[in-house]
Structure 1
Amino acid sequence: MPAATAQIHSPADEPVDHRLIEERAASVGHLFRDRVTATPNSDAFMYAKVRESGDEWVTVTWAEVQKTVYAIGAGLVALGVGPEDRVAVASSTRYEWALADLAVMVAGGVTTTIYPTTIDDDVAFILGDSQSKVVFAEDAEQVAKLRRIASTIPGVTKVVTFDPEAATGEDDWVISLDALEALGRTGLERNPALIDERIDALTPDRLATIIYTSGTTGRPKGVRLLHKSWTYEVAATDSTGILRDDDLQYLWLPLAHVFGKLLLTLPLQIGFPTAIDGRIDKIVDNLAVVKPTFMGAAPRIFEKAYNRVQMMMESDGGVKLKLFRWAEGVGREVSELRAEGKDPSGLLATKYSLADKLVLSKVRDRFGGRVRLFISGSAALNQDVGRWFDSMGMLVGEGYGLTESSAATTVNRPSAYRYGTVGWPLPGTELRIAEDGEVLLRGDGVMDGYHNNPEATAEVLDADGWFHTGDIGELDDRGFLRITDRKKDLFKTSNGKYVAPSIIESQFKGLCPYVSQFVVHGADRNFVSALVTLDPDAMTGWAEANGMAGRPYSEVVTSDAARDMVQGYVDQLNAGLNRWETIKKFTILDQDLTVDGGELTPSLKLKRKVVTERYKDDLDAHYAGS
């Protein structure tokens, strides 16, 4: 491994309450119990019950959550779950996921996460490698998957399903969550102190979670995260004042992903309530109902929202468009001032008040009207998209982290942010830049290692405890970290020039409102090319405006008119690139890349190797005869 420079950053000018980190809870179980003790009657969760007449939102307090969690935890104990025994959760994001995870924590077990889209073979591997004894399964589909692989997972003694109807079967291998809760209540009647005793036995160095990374090749690796990693992450975040106890979080991210798991744990530390619903198609509708102040998301969500508003205004045209562009400009001026820690005054303050009343507040209303902060993570956010949200009065604090660092490593704060960077490290995290530009990390947020994989652990964790992230980055004059690309994604053309694909891809997404994915390619080739997919929703409106209303998606996106449209945006992109980076050829695919298709991770991150292998013929055609 390359030697690291001596550059370690911890911002001296940031006000931090270090006591929160020094006096943090011993475990996630302690954290939960402390939260219930501190604010038993405060709202903890909101979740939607689906009705024919429309969703009904239910609110539960921390005391009510504790009653259910303790019963489920006692049920796990009755099933034989002991200290550090693994319990898997195979489900989309929903309230029951949170209950199951908390129950595992207070029972002293270890949560193993499984995406509901994970294929049978990988589920069998994860359950076997983690030695999971119990599996929480969301519904009949997940139960059926487990039954198909039952012979390969003899260690799984019980499946608990969130859907009572999925528990009916020919045996008692599958039971309902209600049945497990009832079993636990019986156990608590015999020993009311059962769960508190389990929590008391937890220590910071006990294993809390195994999250299997969705690798693009080979078997997924199980990242081992200790209780101290989670308690550090939430205490360090709390110490910065980024989030407050009067916030209301909207949580839709996959809870099997480390970012989602962190957002589920933060309320235990800070105390704000969380509205939880994993239905991506309901995000916009739910924001208007829930009216959150805070939400974490992947860049694709912000890109789609930005593009949708831009297209709506372009469609309106005329005076409306001119007013919108004027308000955008005023908002941009104010956002630039705020980034410097200043407020508008004089004529600018007057213009901003008018712009906010006429335009900016209307845009915020589309997101519920109360958002004060978004956090973007899991992939690079286009700066222009981030600046636009800020100009509308909704700051997007871009952050950076990995599964191996318990999600949050660096993040832009409302009080200190620079677009194009991923912010400052959390207090207590050390950060270095190696001689070859790789970002190195050290601190309590870093994993214990890869489960049952000492060879892979040794490749990334050195003898001094530094985690080698595989990301290339740099620190600016104030210590803000800028990630330039994944070390493994950087490629060199046959002309010897290095290209950072993710930067180019992010730039294009900020230019073209119709794009869904833009995949840059060119390793060992004599020029750079790209695969393009277009957003189905955006292209519906485009098709209507271009005389192709009602035609199939594949026909619309592969039309000459669509190609000419994309070419125009590629020309704009190329104008700002170095000559060797410019996109010489591109192919528009006749279908979008999807999670179900295996081309995106559940957190909407591109699986680059999968895509380039799947569309190898299209890419090779770019270079035929060259």
Structure 2
Amino acid sequence: MFGLLAWLLECIIAFFEPYAFPQYDPNKQTKPVSGAENPSPYETRINAFHSSPVMKSKKGEEIKTLYDSFHADLQAHKNRRCLGTLNIAKNTYTWITYREVETRMRHIGSGLVRMCGAVSQSREENAPLDPKSVVAIFCRNCPEWLLLDGACHAYSLVVTGVYEVTPLADLSSVLNSSGAEIVCVGEKVAELAKAVEKCPNIKTVVLLPFAQEKVEWREGINVVSFVDVEIEGSLQTLPPVPPLPSSFATICYTSGTTGNAKGVELTHANMIASLSSVGIGDESLSQKDVYFSYLPLVHIFERTLLQYGLHKGVAIGFYRGDILRLMEDAALLQPTVFTSVPRIFNRFNSKIEASISQQGGLAEFLYLAAHGSLKRKLVRHEAMRAQLCKKENRTFFSLLAYITHRLYLAAVSKMYSVLVLSKIQQRLGGQVRLFITGAAPISARVLESLAITFGAKVISGYGCSETAVCGACTYPQWIPTEDCGAVSGACQVKIEPIPELENLPEGHGEICVRGASVFRAYLNDEEATRKAKDDDDFYHTGDLGTFTKTGALKITGRIKEIFKLSQGEYITPAGVEATYLMCELVEQIFVYGDSLKSQLVALVYPNEQALTLFAARHGINESKFSDLCSNEQVIKLFLTELDNAADGKLRGFEKVKGIWLLPEPMGDKYFTPTKKLKRNILSDDYRSTIDSVYRRMGVA
């Protein structure tokens, strides 16, 4: 009886689902602002379906600040799980509810004002930043991070986050630039103590519960515990001082690959415009979802997703702080939504494929058979669903065909999940229904492989700190594409020609964004602001891109990373690297070119397990991984595999002709906190190695 009821419910869902679809055409995702039928490829575009930066509660009331966002629908989920911490001793998560979170935010905010001297922002429109209202947070993701963030919103304070991996000199620079007088710290107590020696503005240090280290602080620093701040606020809780839409919400420091980080001023209006673009589509987050938080909250990508999650009543669980045990934590939490950056998705997918290949035999055959079968059915399902997004295509027979195919797909997916894929799915807890990625280009093949294996849809997006993460976003899909989807609803995007890059194809150029989500200015840097924003208020991102035939935005590289080979061809290395990362042998890759040379070379850190199996299949058995990396035969075979990965995807001059296999991964110093390569540092540190590759190729 239960099975029959479940089946009937599935029928009802399948029947009504098409009517809940957004009325968008996947073949016409954006439209020109001018409304022209045959627009120029450089014309300003907006989302063809949703182009309003307004956010509303379930009651239809307009939401104008992040304080409003948290409280708007709070009554509907106040007793549900909100923030979860891993209890390592019991191997389970412990939770506090939304009701408890709201109370604690008020206590913490009151404590910051009463005990730490924080001062709420001015109630005047567009008032300048008051350093006394700035609270810096220097710790990993944890419940306290979001509690502090919400406390600051409740009392019109401004949050600025600092990456834990920030070098000492940069840490002092960010703290001085923000003007913060209060800084909250987790494990990195010793590093902060050194940094504040050069930060006369810092008056108070708040030690979070896991800040264990005892250090000497410079004279004049008031050191208090987070617990005491919260207790002080609970003894005399102040009435909230909600911010204005024009009030500062955060100062978000960019994680640039070159130069000093700049402080991006983002208001509550900017953040709400961004949130209004999240969740458009049929996979919006809900109270039933569990979100796994480990990507740095300092970055606007994770911050925006969690703010939206808090608005929707999502349960948010945090990792233990050890990136090497990420999958362990995910398996315990059992998230329904898993967000990551390309580097981690690539590594995770490579490990899955390598483990399947290592098993071989029947296990490998069943995995490949399940994958192939599901892909064919999902491709058909996506095509049928896309057709039904248009009302004129909804006939009795088309709906019946869709319902029938969906039920068939659900049955087949369940069968493959139980018989073949369940062990792999359990690596992330077995409940993932949605993958979200951003921050850098990623191979569609990797996303497709993960989507099929886990039975989850995929959203990939494009944005940056200056646009409050708005730019473009795909609708949830099982079969991902190489693009970033439609322009976000809160902004307009145009492609600006770059005359000095004469070899760029038509329609390619710099991505420029304007709209309600775009930042006000760089903190204390009028010159940088003038350079970044033009007279029409477009922010020039520095990213290269184009619009596809379907109207989707596609990223092709960074302007400052483009270089020219000796024969005059322009190379965008990020795009070349993204292609090679599709090869299961590649864990990390840095593509290098010289304007005096005609060929590209690359430094590659191979996937150790995949390379060992690959070498063994070719009769090469070295006892040490470092010996494999220096083996001439392995290098030749590896280069052949890279050529195979590039076939049909890269032009001849874009293909790497020489490689050096690194026995150790490129360290953190070569990546920004958002995992973008620091190319200048890499090319300087590996200069002799790069020269050796060219010499081996016979190129002087």
Scaled by the length of structure 1, the TM-score of the pair is: 0.90
1:182 aligned to which of 212, 231, 247: 231
Determine the C-alpha separation between the residues in 1 that align with 2:532 and 2:629.
42
CA positional deviation for 1:424 = 1.1
Which of 244, 249, 269 is the aligned partner of 1:203?
244
**For residues 64 and 543 of structure 1, what CA distance do their matches in structure 2 show?**
56
Specify the alignment match of 1:123 in structure 2. 171
Q: 1:604 aligns to what SS in structure 2?
A: coil
Report the Cα offset of residue 4 of structure 1.
9.2
- Structure 1 residue 63 and structure 2 residue 106: aligned? no
Is 2:463 aligned against 1:401? yes
Cα pair 2:249 2:267 within 8 Å, conserved: yes
Q: Residues 17 and 380 of structure 1: is their aligned pair in 2 closer, same or farther, counting only changes over 3 Å?
A: closer
What are the superposed Cα offsets for residues 321-346 of structure 1, whole Å, 9 maximum, x if unpaired?
12211111112212322332446849
Letter in 2 for 1:410: A
- Does the Cα contact within 8 Å between 2:285 and 2:309 map onto a contact in 1? no
Residue pair 1:46, 1:276 contacting (<8 A) in 2 also: yes
Counterpart position of 2:435: 374
- d(CA) in 2 for partners of 1:442, 1:410: 12
* Contact 2:270 2:517 (8 Å CA) reproduced: yes
Asked if 2 retains the 8 angstrom alpha-carbon contact of 1:17 and 1:240, the reply is: no
CA spacing shift, 1:254–1:377, aligned 2, 3 Å: same
**AA partner of residue 579 (structure 1):** G
DSSP-derived class of the 2:567 partner = coil
CA shift in 2, pair 1:351/1:23, >3 Å: closer
CA distance in 2, matches of 1:562, 1:186: 68
Question: Does residue 1:582 correspond to 2:672, yes or no?
Answer: no
The answer for the alignment partner of 1:455 in structure 2 is 527
Q: CA deviation at 1:128?
A: 0.7
Matching residue of 1:191: none
Q: 2:381 aligns with which of 338, 345, 351?
A: 338
Q: Contact conserved, 1:422 with 1:480, CA < 8 A, in 2?
A: yes
Deviation string, structure 1 residues 248-306 (Cα, Å, up to 9, x no partner): 11111011111121122112322211112243222211222211111211012211121
Give the letter aligned to residue 638 of structure 2: V
Partner of 1:466: 538
Amino acid of the residue matched to residue 667 of structure 2? T
Deviation of 1:241 after TM superposition, in Å, equals 4.6
CA distance in 2 between partners of 1:148 and 1:19 (Å): 43
Aligned equivalents of 1:82, 1:346: Cα separation in 2: 56
- Please give the residue correspondences for 1:423-572 in structure 2 after superposition, counting only pairs within 5 Å: 423-436=485-498, 437-511=509-583, 513-524=584-595, 525-535=597-607, 547-549=621-623, 551=624, 553-560=625-632, 562-572=634-644
| Paired residues of 2:337 and 2:434 also in contact (CA < 8 A) | yes
The answer as to whether partners of 1:224 and 1:450 remain within 8 angstroms in 2 is yes
The whole-number CA distance in structure 2 between the counterparts of 1:499 and 1:442 is 28
CA distance, structure 1, for counterparts of residue 557 and residue 647 of structure 2? 21
Map of 1:247 onto structure 2: 289
For this pair of structures, how many residues does the alignment match? 606
- Counterpart of 1:81, as a letter, is A
- Aligned partners of 1:9 and 1:425 also within 8 Å: yes
RMSD: 2.8
Instruction: Compute the TM-score of the two structures, normalised by the length of structure 2.
Output: 0.81
Measured in 2, the distance between the counterparts of 1:618 and 1:394 equals 42
Moved more, 581-590 or 451-460: 581-590
Q: Does 1:310 align with 2:383?
A: no
Structure 1 residues 403, 247: closer, same or farther in 2, change over 3 A? same
Cα separation, partners in 2 of 1:609 and 1:5, compared to 1, 3 Å: same
Are the structure 2 counterparts of residues 175 and 4 from structure 1 closer, same or farther at C-alpha, using a change threshold of 3 Å?
farther
Deviation at 1:23, TM superposition (A): 4.9
Q: Say whether the 8 Å CA contact 2:483–2:554 is kept in structure 1.
A: yes
Shift of 1:235: 2.5
Q: Equivalents in 2 of 1:8, 1:380: separation in Å?
A: 21
1:463: Cα distance to partner? 1.7
Unaligned runs of 5+ in 2: 1-39, 122-132, 386-401, 499-508
Whichever residue aligns with residue 153 of structure 1, its letter is C
Task: Tell me which amino acid in the other structure corresponds to 1:112.
Answer: T
* CA shift in 2, pair 1:166/1:366, >3 Å: closer
CA deviations 1:179-216 (Å, max 9, x no partner) are 1112222331xxxxx242x12xx111111111111223
3-state SS of paired residue (1:237): coil
1:45 alignment counterpart: 83
- Name the CA shift for 1:5/1:72 in 2 (closer, same or farther; >3 Å): same
CA distance in 1, matches of 2:292, 2:567: 48
In structure 2, what residue type is equivalent to 1:151? E
Q: Secondary structure of 1:132's match?
A: coil
SS at match of 1:448: coil
- Tell whether 2:677 aligns with 1:606: yes
Question: For the residues of structure 1 that align with 2:679 and 2:293, how far apart are their CA atoms?
Answer: 27
- Alpha-carbon distance in 2 for matches of 1:498, 1:150: 45
Letter of the aligned partner of 1:372 in structure 2?
R
| Maintained 8 Å contact 2:255/2:674 | no
Rounded to whole Å, the distance in 2 between the matches of 1:114 and 1:37 is: 33
**Aligned partners of 1:91, 1:19: CA distance in 2, in Å?**
30
- 1:397 is aligned with what amino acid? I
CA gap 1:257/1:558 in 2 versus in 1, 3 angstroms: farther
* Conserved 8 A contact 2:491-2:517: yes
Q: Percent identity?
A: 27
Q: 1:594 aligns with which of 631, 646, 667?
A: 667
Q: Which stretch of the first structure deviates more once superposed, 86-95 or 330-339?
A: 330-339
Alignment of 1:289-328 (within 5 A): 289-328=332-371
Alignment of 1:68-217 (within 5 A): 68-78=104-114, 79-84=116-121, 85-139=133-187, 142-162=188-208, 163=210, 165-166=212-213, 173-188=222-237, 194-196=238-240, 198-199=241-242, 202-217=243-258
2:97 aligned with 1:26, yes or no? no
Give the equivalent residue in structure 1 for 2:688. 617
